[in-house]
Amino acid sequence: MPKSFGSLGFFAPELDKLRHTERLRLATEFAKVEQSIVMALDELQQAIKEVSASYFVGAAFWLRCIESCQATVLLAERGLPTTPHATLRTAFECLFAASALWRDPSVADRMEAWHHKERIKQAKGMMAAGAEKRVPSDRLTELKGIAFEVTPESDWSHQAAADIAGLRFEYETIYRGLGLAGAHATPRSLDDYYVAHFDAPPSLQFQPSTKRLEWLLSLVDTCLVCGIQRRQEAQRNLST
């Protein structure tokens, strides 16, 4: 079986060469991101000792943020055109959550209430969509129990987390922008999948692209730097 991009898509071995080429082309940008990763992980490992529950949960969100930042780079350097937008958006969500918890531990209750609200909403939605015909009986009993739970009041949102974290500008510009550009199924997210022709209908295309790689690396570093700053702030507050 041929192992070209045409037959395997992004499983094709040839993308390892693309990754190597892009690492050389953007060596400075990659080095900057790697430096931020090293700092983030090193500081976090030093800090996790005897801390509050809210700080610990915030640190777990921060680790998810770091992981999602790395996933963004791994995908983008292999030429995936739009998928990195989704992983980077997740990174910013986790950044907002971690920073909000570090600045205001009381938001943990709001986050938990939101989780249960969404859990109940999902169960009710599954029941309304015909779960009785498609879910095994033991799981159905559990699902019905969740659906009949009292829905907690919750005003929590990623925007609320960004506000508390002092990252509202990043929310409105980067986070929303990533949703429009590729994290969601928007018309804009299709830009890399067709070619417009002057005198004929557009044609589909499927190929690697690194034209946004430098931009994505800069956003990854922004996310990491913001998180490092908020964690250092939290650590100082723990020490006082």
CB 101 within 8 A of CB 54: yes
Secondary structure of residue 8 in the 3-state scheme: helix
pLDDT for residue 49: 67
Q: How far apart (Å, rounded) are the C-alpha atoms in residues 69 and 209?
A: 19
| Per-run averaged pLDDT (10 residues), the chain, 240 residues | 87 94 98 98 78 90 98 98 98 98 96 97 97 94 96 95 98 98 95 94 96 98 98 83
pLDDT for residue 142: 96
Rounded (5°) CA angle 220-101-106: 160
Q: How far apart (Å, rounded) are the C-alpha atoms in residues 34 and 13?
A: 24
pLDDT for residue 127: 96
Q: Greatest CA separation found in the chain?
A: 69
Tokens 């976090």, residue?
44
CA-based nearest residue to 219, from 180, 173, 158, 182: 173
CB 68 within 8 A of CB 90: yes
pTM: 0.95
| pLDDT tens digits, 148-180 | 999 999 999 999 999 999 999 999 999 999 999
Q: How far apart (Å, rounded) are the C-alpha atoms in residues 61 and 84?
A: 19
